[in-house]
């Protein structure tokens, strides 16, 4: 049952094909990062236009690599939200057009459910129930996952998302856009312990996060005429504060639920220090830990094709186009 997945929610255009028996058959992605770099952030109108230009060749590419004709698919899944409305509409319209032309069911997919279930694309898949730490450019969530679509949010950021905090802090330090990976790289050259930043909201009970204060702490610490070493030391201190805060809250969430597994997904899941820090925690506490491979931490269509296949195989689909810029993950149907 091969299902095509289409992702166009933000600044990555992507297509992939997932099959229940054979797994991921093909995936392809075009990143618009260079297009938006000179503006220091995603320009929605430019993103939509570029999706229009990129998506069809990517779909042709994955069909060719999977050696399939469109009429051999059993469904077309697309990211229906959350995301930029114009960008979502492009992927949705292309998916709806293909579905109509080849008489295929259409499967709207929640982008964050895609991130959440991306570890299912790996050989070492997590078993339900598990705790999920979703850390991306727009979201910071601790989710109790009891099955597909059965999501309970236990904690979330009250202000900036983790990825956003990385990007904003990197921008303040003069690093190129998008700053998260650059800041992480710089942190590797930093002197441990020279800067110690707060671990926000860890001194009180609860599982919510707040990252906007860290930005201010970095700004205050950043000396005028900071040298490269100063910047690396600050980046190190920032990354330690963020990863330790996330690790403390994950430990609390696992303790609270007794769940035996932790899944980490979303772009910040690519952060090596976070992987290392949570690895230590998991080993000590005998928790199984799952990450998607690096390229499936950030936006991709493989995760959308997977969710599309999982929902399609349970009979869920529609024939109408849906675009929901805001869409709480807790409103999904279970399968």
Q: Using the rule CB under 6 A, which residue among 126, 266, 292, 308 binds ligand ATP?
A: 266
Q: Using the rule CB under 6 A, which residue among 59, 268, 302, 332 binds ligand ATP?
A: 268
- Per-residue mark of binding to Fe ion, 125-144 (x: CB under 5 A): -----------x--------
Total interface residues for ligand ATP by CB under 6 A: 21
**Residue 149 interacting with ligand ATP (CB under 6 A):** no
Q: Which stretch binds ligand ATP (CB under 6 A): 17-25, 99-107, 133-141, 254-262?
A: 133-141
**Residue 236 interacting with ligand ATP (CB under 6 A):** no
CB 239 within 8 A of CB 183: yes
DSSP, residue by residue, 9-71: SSSEEEEEEEETTTEEEEEEEEE-HHHHHTTTS--HHHHHHHHHHHHHHHHHHHHHHHT--GG
Q: Is 213 exposed, middle or buried (0-12, 13-18, 19+ CB in 10 A)?
A: middle
Total interface residues for Mg ion by CB under 5 A: 4
Query: What does 163 interact with, of ligand ATP, Fe ion, Mg ion, none (CB < 5 to 8 A by kind)?
Result: ligand ATP
**Residue 163 interacting with ligand ATP (CB under 6 A):** yes
Judge whether 111 is annotated as a binding position: yes
Q: Is 110 exposed, middle or buried (0-12, 13-18, 19+ CB in 10 A)?
A: buried
Q: Using the rule CB under 5 A, which residue among 5, 7, 8, 11 binds Mg ion?
A: 11
**Residue 74 interacting with Fe ion (CB under 5 A):** no
Q: Name the residue nearer to ligand ATP (CB basis): 2 or 269.
A: 269
Residues in a beta bridge with 3: 18, 75
Judge whether 136 is annotated as a binding position: yes
Closest Cα partner for 88 from 143, 27, 13? 13
**Residue 164 interacting with Mg ion (CB under 5 A):** no
CB 233 within 8 A of CB 191: yes
CB of 242 to ligand ATP, least distance (A): 8
**Residue 79 interacting with Fe ion (CB under 5 A):** no
Query: What does 268 interact with, of Fe ion, ligand ATP, Mg ion, none (CB < 5 to 8 A by kind)?
Result: ligand ATP
**Residue 167 interacting with Mg ion (CB under 5 A):** no
**Residue 184 interacting with ligand ATP (CB under 6 A):** yes
163: which 2 tokens? 């990825």
Distance (Å, whole) CA 105 – CA 331: 21
Distance (Å, whole) CA 17 – CA 90: 19
Distances, alpha carbon 272 to alpha carbons 176, 196, 297, in Å: 19, 19, 12
Q: Where are the alpha helices (DSSP H) in the chain?
A: 33-37, 44-66, 85-101, 111-117, 162-172, 179-187, 212-221, 228-257, 272-285, 302-312
Judge whether 138 is annotated as a binding position: yes
Binding site for Mg ion (CB under 5 A): 10-12, 299
Binding site per annotation, positions for substrate: 134-138, 167, 180, 271
Binding site for ligand ATP (CB under 6 A): 10, 111, 115, 136-139, 163, 166-167, 178, 180-181, 184, 266-268, 270-271, 298-299
């Amino acid at each position: 049952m091969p299902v095509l997945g289409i992702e166009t929610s933000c600044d990555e255009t992507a297509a992939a094909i997932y099959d229940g028996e054979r797994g991921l058959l093909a995936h392809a992605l075009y990143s618009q990062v260079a297009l938006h770099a000179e503006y220091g952030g995603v320009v929605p109108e430019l993103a939509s236009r570029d999706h229009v230009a990129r998506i069809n060749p990517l779909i042709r590419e994955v069909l060719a690599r999977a050696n399939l004709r469109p009429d051999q698919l059993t469904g077309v899944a697309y990211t229906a939200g959350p995301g930029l409305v114009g960008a979502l509409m492009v992927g949705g319209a292309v998916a709806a057009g293909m579905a109509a032309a080849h008489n295929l069911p259409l499967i709207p997919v929640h982008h964050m459910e895609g991130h959440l279930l991306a570890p299912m694309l790996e050989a070492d898949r997590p078993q339900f129930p598990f705790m999920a730490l979703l850390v991306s450019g727009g979201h910071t969530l601790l989710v109790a996952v009891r099955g597909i679509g059965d999501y309970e949010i236990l904690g979330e950021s009250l202000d900036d998302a983790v990825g956003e905090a990385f990007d904003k802090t990197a921008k303040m330090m003069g690093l190129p856009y998008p700053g998260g990976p650059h800041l992480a790289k710089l942190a590797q050259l930093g002197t441990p312990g020279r800067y110690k930043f707060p671990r926000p909201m860890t001194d009180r009970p609860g599982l919510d996060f707040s990252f906007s204060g860290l930005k201010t702490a970095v700004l205050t610490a950043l000396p005028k005429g900071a040298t490269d070493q100063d910047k690396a030391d600050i980046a190190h201190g920032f990354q330690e504060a963020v990863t330790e805060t996330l690790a403390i809250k994950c430990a609390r969430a696992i303790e609270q639920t007794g769940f035996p597994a932790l899944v980490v997904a979303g772009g910040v899941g690519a952060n090596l220090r976070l992987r290392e820090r949570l690895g230590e925690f998991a080993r000590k506490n005998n928790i199984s830990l799952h990450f998607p491979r690096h390229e499936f931490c950030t936006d991709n269509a493989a995760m959308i094709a997977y969710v599309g296949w999982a929902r399609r195989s349970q009979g869920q689909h529609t024939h109408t186009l849906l675009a929901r810029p805001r869409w709480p993950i807790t409103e999904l149907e279970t399968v």
